Amino acid sequence: MALEAQSEDSGAAPCCDKLYTCRLCHDNKEDHQLDRFKVKEVQCINCEKIQNAQQTCEECSTLFGEYYCNICHLFDKDKKQYHCENCGICRIGPKEDFFHCLKCNLCLAMNLQGKHKCIENVSRQNCPICLEDIHTSRVVAHVLPCGHLLHRTCYEEMLKEGYRCPLCMHSALDMSRYWRQLDDEVAQTPMPSEYQNMTVDILCNDCNGRSTVQFHILGMKCNICESYNTAQAGGCRISLDQQ
């Protein structure tokens, strides 16, 4: 049973005893999902011999896949794959470019080691954009600064509409340059006189701090981390000492 691209074999699905060249083809056609780990037999497309799952046909020596995992029963072209015992599935490598974060329970790029925020078993959650599985997805996962995961493609689409994590509202990328541009816009856009002494309580989505700042229609800047990713946490009021 090939679990990704087309290969030179078909596998007998143990759940319905039908032959498919790909687990995804099976899942798209049937009303249930194939348990890849239970696949025991494959049929060679060239000689049609049914045999135990293995990389090469025992009858005609046809190579079923440049890469074969005898745990996942994955047959595929060579993409520097490796089987991660902690993830429980095969990942596209090379292996030396990745490490497995035990808390996040996911293989991540080496440049994120010690430099990402861990959330326990975060990869077992569905992508909050498309609501599809992240852990076994063939689409690369993108780690946000807050630690939440999105499919890379979903992340790129999200940036066309906004900049905040859909789960916690934390900024999904470094916004410091834009905040400084917003500083200039605020300075160049004075509020009408009736609003100049108005203050408001805000909650910062980036540092979770609370502060009281001057109200401005373009945005309210956090006094703690200087982010404009804030939300109003109370009503507006006029400062008594400036009335």
- Per-residue pLDDT of 45-66, as tens digits, reads 899 999 999 999 999 999 999 9
Q: Which residues of 2-36 are buried (b: 16+ CB within 10 A; e: fewer)?
A: bbbeebbbbbbbeeeeebbbbbbebeeeeeeebeb
* 165 and 196 housed in the same domain: no
* 164 and 198 housed in the same domain: no
* 26 and 66 housed in the same domain: yes
Task: Please report, for the domain that includes residue 215, its CATH number.
Answer: 2.20.28.10
| Pairing of β 98-101 and β 106-109 | antiparallel
What pLDDT is recorded for position 189? 94
Q: Please indicate, yes or no, if residue 140 is contained in any of the structural domains.
A: yes
Q: Yes or no: say if 111 and 90 are a contact pair by the CB < 8 Å rule.
A: no
Task: Please report, for the domain that includes residue 155, its CATH number.
Answer: 3.30.40.10
* 16 and 62 housed in the same domain: yes
* 169 and 195 housed in the same domain: no
* 19 and 70 housed in the same domain: yes
Distance CA 242, CA 225 (A): 26
Q: Please indicate, yes or no, if residue 100 is contained in any of the structural domains.
A: no
Residues 6+ apart with CB under 8 A from 117: 145, 146, 147
Q: Please indicate, yes or no, if residue 86 is contained in any of the structural domains.
A: no
Half-sphere exposure (CA, 13 Å, Cβ side) for 179?
Answer: 17
* Beta strand ranges found along the chain (DSSP E): 9-12, 19-20, 41-44, 50-52, 67-69, 74-76, 81-84, 89-92, 98-101, 106-109, 141-143, 149-151, 198-204, 210-214, 230-232, 237-238
Q: Please indicate, yes or no, if residue 165 is contained in any of the structural domains.
A: yes
Segments of the chain with pLDDT less than 50: 1-6, 242-243
Tokens representing residue 154 in the block: 């979903």
Distance CA 184, CA 160 (A): 24
* 205 and 157 housed in the same domain: no
What pLDDT is recorded for position 177? 96
What pLDDT is recorded for position 21? 82
Distance CA 3, CA 196 (A): 64
Q: Yes or no: say if 49 and 61 are a contact pair by the CB < 8 Å rule.
A: no
Distance CA 38, CA 25 (A): 17
* 74 and 14 housed in the same domain: yes
Q: Please indicate, yes or no, if residue 52 is contained in any of the structural domains.
A: yes
- The number of folded domains in the chain is 3
Cα 141 to Cα 4, 31, 137: the distances in Å are 18, 27, 8
Give me the domain span that covers residue 203.
Answer: 191-238
* Dmax (CA) of the chain: 93
What pLDDT is recorded for position 7? 53
Q: Please indicate, yes or no, if residue 88 is contained in any of the structural domains.
A: no
Work out the mean pLDDT of the chain and round it to a whole number.
Answer: 89
* 14 and 74 housed in the same domain: yes
Q: Please indicate, yes or no, if residue 16 is contained in any of the structural domains.
A: yes
Residues 6+ apart with CB under 8 A from 193: none
What pLDDT is recorded for position 2? 34
* 200 and 147 housed in the same domain: no
Q: Please indicate, yes or no, if residue 109 is contained in any of the structural domains.
A: no
